[in-house]
Structure 1
Amino acid sequence: MMNEVQINERLPLTRAIPLGVQHLFAMTGSTILVPFLTGLSPATALFCSGIGTIVFLLLTRSKVPAYLGSSFAFIASLTAFIKDQHNLASAMTGVLSVGIAYILIYFILRLFGTKWINKIIPPVVAGSVVAIIGLSLTPVAISMAGANWIVAIFTLAVAILVSVYAKGFPKVIPILIAIVAGYILAGFMGLVDTAKIIASFKTPFVLPFSSFGTLNFNVTAILTFAPLALITLIEDLGHMMILGNITHTDPIQDPGFDRVVLGNGLATGIASLFGGVPLTTYAENIGVLAITKVYSTFNIWIAAISAIILSTFNPLQALIMSIPTPVMGGVVILLFGMIGAAGLRTLIEAKVDFSQNKNLIIAAVIFALGIGLTNHGIMFATLAGIFLNLILKAETEEVLDMTKEAAK
């Protein structure tokens, strides 16, 4: 079995840098996709993700190996204000309101503590939610892979083979190796646009932001954006459950979910000042942790710093953005699938008793809503699971015995 590298460990730079770049590659596709769809700058999004992740790491005392990237929950709201109304200032006010909402939630958590979280979210809820976080993202992965299944399957196969059969250091960078291999194959198949890479050398350095401090108080924008903080809050909670399961720690208690919320809130608030999008912890990078078993936050620091550099160096940015969609599709099939498997692992390790109708019903409803609802399914599934856990009573041993007898 491959040895695990713990959160506080630091590998030599010769190993840590490739591991950090692997995290960079894992998150870049999704992080630049959100601004691309909404009319914002991909370079700004990369810059804000790097700055935001550093802020997050500082506030969580480098105890949570999570990377912050662009949140998909705000695509519709950003599109409405930027593409439809051409009102960047109001959109950034909305983004700022999300950060403020997070900070307000932080103070609530500080007042009431976080121990109650484990009481209202037992393993049956946590494991089921974690599973649907990964499974609900798989249609996105399949859509990306569908652009060219030959390239996607090849990339996926390389990632799997390297992860299982490689020896030494290559075994901990299977995603990076798979992306490079998939990129080469895609290049031979004519799927790589090299013209943009060549053209990027004409302007090698760019400012990653051009709208610093563009804000305009808009009540409509605030009411549109701020309530969506609940979605990313629940997403963060689910990701902390996954991280705890993978790294054998409890980030909800140490450094505390309140610090996670504050870090995300300040990161999003800072992003609004630079013209960026709301940030959230990324499942892609958690998937990398699960595959490599290297949990060191030092590698996340390297990824964040690399993202900042990438956002200013135009040729490097063009190279990353030229990675064909099916290459990333092959990779994220594995990453998102690993998140789903981590949820099932939680249920197994906690020995959740599914002979209890309460547990069976909670899991069934969470899976149905989380996978079936296309809009905010994870949020509604989590809320439903919490509600059912609070109102349903566990069956007594006597009732269980009677049920088993009747089934014979």
Structure 2
Amino acid sequence: PPIVTGPMIIMIGLNLSGSAITNASSCWWLALVSMAIIVVANIWGKGMVKIIPILLGVVGSYIVAVIATLCGAQLPDANGVMQPLVNFASVGEAHLIGFQKFILAKFDVSAVLVMAPIAIAAMMEHIGDISAISSTTGNNFIADPGLHRTLTGDGLATAFAGMFGGPANTTYGENTGVLALSKVYDPRVIRLAAVYAIILSFSPKFDALVNSIPSAIVGGVSFILYGMISAVGVRNIVENQVDLTKSRNLIIAAVMFVSGLGFSSVGGVTFTVGGAAVTLSGLAIAALCGVILNAILPGNDYEFGISVDGDKSADLGSY
């Protein structure tokens, strides 16, 4: 229920916030430029401008960075050596067309034992993000097409990617923030984006161009997106009318927040299974705590997909 998924969404955004600060701190003025463009485009923009504030924030601040580079702006790299704000060296060296290196996966028990527990966090994040997207778009995706279909699709996509050496897939909470800002909910947009991404993935030069974007710009954009994730989580709790006057709900939320943020700050919990070191992240621990507490604490009158009264958490706001 939302008393579990809501805090999960909030913590996803808060756990990412450190990354936003780290990236933005490399050049604060450039990060502020990207944030300002997004805010102006989203609040005062009209038509297409209002639909693509994130893209405008990235492109607009990148143009500013290029102009600043032409004027001699520099930043120190990891070794303290001064480098241009935007470095095009790798872009010039990269080929226009190239192929990825595909590697057929092999079965390894120790690798399975290490990676499998992480799936708990990914599954909880999936459920939380589907709830958040439902609240954002006004469509109950938990019921239609249903979590059984979305989770199956997510799992099959991850298995297929892993089979050929690709990274695991996940339902990125950042995209919920994009939906909330752009108000564009048409699935055809995502399908087109997928086609473009596949085509552009065969261009090392485009990859180098994207990687030439200063990290400060990514940090500025992340300020908005990561904060938007947590805000959507709060909205999920509020719109579902979760009764936080109930002690059980307060306890669940409290333990999840401390577990998710506290254990993340110390690198999670590591233990050994069959000679392999297994680490549970803060989000995975919070997910486990939320599910277990919701199951064992008395007073749970929520029936998934059935109850519209109870603690009001089944209401999903407008359904």
Matching residue of 2:19: 140
Matching residue of 1:197: 91
Letter in 2 for 1:386: V
Preserved contact between residue 236 and residue 280 of structure 1 (Cα < 8 Å): yes
Preserved contact between residue 231 and residue 379 of structure 1 (Cα < 8 Å): yes
- TM-score when normalising by structure 2: 0.79
Shift of 1:179: 0.3
Distance 2:242 2:173 in 1: 24
Matching residue of 2:221: 331
Letter in 2 for 1:182: S
Shift of 1:361: 1.9
Matching residue of 2:55: 176
Larger helix percent: 1
Matching residue of 1:389: 294
Please give the root-mean-square deviation of Cα atoms over the aligned residues, in Å.
1.8
Matching residue of 1:347: 237
Matches within 5 A, 1:358-373: 358-373=248-263
| SS of the residue 1:167 aligns to | coil
Distance 1:251 1:196 in 2: 43
Shift of 1:157: 1.4
Matching residue of 1:302: 192
Distance 2:19 2:297 in 1: 34
Preserved contact between residue 311 and residue 317 of structure 1 (Cα < 8 Å): yes
Q: Which 5+ residue runs of structure 2 have no aligned equivalent? A: 74-83, 269-280, 301-319
Matching residue of 2:99: 207
Preserved contact between residue 130 and residue 241 of structure 1 (Cα < 8 Å): no
Preserved contact between residue 205 and residue 314 of structure 1 (Cα < 8 Å): yes
Moved >3 Å (runs of 4+): none
Shift of 1:394: 4.0
| SS of the residue 1:393 aligns to | coil
Matching residue of 2:149: 259
Distance 2:46 2:210 in 1: 27
**Cα deviation code 1:333-385 (max 9, x no counterpart):** 11111111111112222233322222222222222222222132222222222
Letter in 2 for 1:232: A
Preserved contact between residue 10 and residue 232 of structure 2 (Cα < 8 Å): yes
User: Structure 1 residues 386 and 323, CA, compared in 2 at 3 Å: closer, same or farther?
Assistant: same
User: Structure 1 residues 218 and 348, CA, compared in 2 at 3 Å: closer, same or farther?
Assistant: closer
**Cα deviation code 1:154-195 (max 9, x no counterpart):** 111111111111111100100000001111222213311112
Matching residue of 1:124: 3
Q: Which 5+ residue runs of structure 1 have no aligned equivalent? A: 1-120, 396-408
- TM-score when normalising by structure 1: 0.63
| SS of the residue 1:304 aligns to | helix
Number of residues of Structure 1 aligned to a counterpart in Structure 2: 270
Distance 1:156 1:380 in 2: 33
Distance 2:5 2:241 in 1: 13
Matching residue of 1:248: 138
Distance 2:105 2:12 in 1: 33
Letter in 2 for 1:363: A
Letter in 2 for 1:211: F
User: Structure 1 residues 387 and 270, CA, compared in 2 at 3 Å: closer, same or farther?
Assistant: closer
Identity %: 40
Distance 2:4 2:114 in 1: 29
**Cα deviation code 1:61-88 (max 9, x no counterpart):** xxxxxxxxxxxxxxxxxxxxxxxxxxxx
User: Structure 1 residues 129 and 217, CA, compared in 2 at 3 Å: closer, same or farther?
Assistant: closer
Preserved contact between residue 235 and residue 379 of structure 1 (Cα < 8 Å): no
Shift of 1:391: 2.7
Matching residue of 1:225: 115
Preserved contact between residue 156 and residue 330 of structure 1 (Cα < 8 Å): yes
Shift of 1:288: 0.6
Letter in 1 for 2:157: A
| SS of the residue 1:277 aligns to | coil
Preserved contact between residue 127 and residue 346 of structure 1 (Cα < 8 Å): yes
Preserved contact between residue 148 and residue 326 of structure 1 (Cα < 8 Å): yes
Preserved contact between residue 98 and residue 204 of structure 2 (Cα < 8 Å): yes
Letter in 2 for 1:276: G
Matching residue of 2:273: none
Shift of 1:241: 1.3
User: Structure 1 residues 179 and 216, CA, compared in 2 at 3 Å: closer, same or farther?
Assistant: same
User: Structure 1 residues 219 and 361, CA, compared in 2 at 3 Å: closer, same or farther?
Assistant: closer
Letter in 1 for 2:10: A
| SS of the residue 2:170 aligns to | strand
| SS of the residue 2:201 aligns to | helix
**Cα deviation code 1:270-326 (max 9, x no counterpart):** 212332111111112221111111111111111111111111122222211211111
**Cα deviation code 1:24-51 (max 9, x no counterpart):** xxxxxxxxxxxxxxxxxxxxxxxxxxxx
